[in-house]
Structure 1
Amino acid sequence: MGGFHQKSCNFVTANITIMNNIGILFDLDGVLVDSEGEYTKFWGGMGERYGLVPTFAADIKGTTIGEILLNFPEADREWILGELHAFEADMQYPVYPGVMEFLRELRESGVPSAIVTSSDNVKMDLLFARRPELRGMIDALVTGSMVTRSKPDPEGYLKGAGLIGVPIERCYVFEDSMQGLQAGRSSGAKVIGIATTNPRSKVETIADLTLDSMHGISLACISAVR
């Protein structure tokens, strides 16, 4: 995409002007919380149990639970969903370094934000019970239960932009999965790729700005992306 492909935001210079009237749209797993590895284990195990392709756990990243379950026998889907919710209830959802600092900067600067995730409402209730500090720093939430089309369709990000009242072309999407990165690109937003789940070389093919992590992220950093 001809964007910035940096490991961190250390390249930002002090004279960059912070843009006004922007919005931030975050994916959740692999961007705000370090949970993708646990989901890879869960879905990898389920894929193996049902004889699915070895890349199944990677292929479904960014898609809703409803679409994921279509890969399994209908008679077993309710059981699999129950197993998933039990698994999620035991997860810790550690917040990545740099996330809370960035969320505080957004709040102090009056920049609205939303989480746009393929996770369902049950999982989000579990996460916010475990990490209540996250809920208080986010202005809106779009879950997989609220959309009819999963990523890479841009529906979720367009809905998120509408909820925070910012035109999508003035929004910045933070994503780690290839499905999510494509959803951000298709929406018309600027795309910040976080290389936590996929190799940088893949993320860079879609993102306007590619970073290794959220550590050190700031409004000045993303304002370099026009």
Structure 2
Amino acid sequence: MRVLLADDHRLLLEGLVNLLTTNGIDVAGQAHDGPEAVAMARALRPDVILMDIRMPGGDGLTATRHIRAEWPGARIVILTTSTDDADLFEAVKSGACGYLLKSMSADDLIVSLDGALTGVPPFSPGLAEKLLAEFARLAESTATGIAGVSPAEATETVAIQTMPPVLTERQREVLQLVASGLTYKEVGARLHLSPRTVKYHMGEIMAALHLEHRAQVLAYAGREGLGARF
């Protein structure tokens, strides 16, 4: 795996480089602001980009939008200290496929990067639940005809609302726990599965529902009432 790091805190970057290389991950480059992240993403085409939000000279969300506009297939995971709902929702709207907090453990970061690479975008515990609530609100707004929902959001939500329940019982169990904000490791502990098996199930869930990203999965979970915590 080749990872591009984008953060203005040099000490943090040094720690991330040491952590990733120790775990066999290649650090393709280190950017210190948004414009540099865009330029390096264009030149290096890394497998995953770890992007901070607030950086001098250009924020990470603007950089995320620019990168996704040029390279729709880019896997960008936000790594930040911000637990602000507005930052979370804007990150997803900007094209980020995951949102992680810097307070997470080193082991969970490695697992999250592995998940991002295999198409199962990562979110820190509790953040998926916030997204679930927001997409449930959008679905309700669309269903009742409330103004303020964009055409793209309405189209996506309506498509999800009409999807048949094609998941197996095990897949529904995995989806419920993930939508409740648990990490793959925590889900595995609850269901006596390995984290890799949980990631496999999430990939199968996305394929079965013909969904492309995590936000759509959470919207489906909201419609099915699968977001309650255990």
Higher helix proportion: 2
TM-score (norm: length of structure 1): 0.37
Normalised to the residue count of structure 2, the TM-score between the two structures is: 0.36
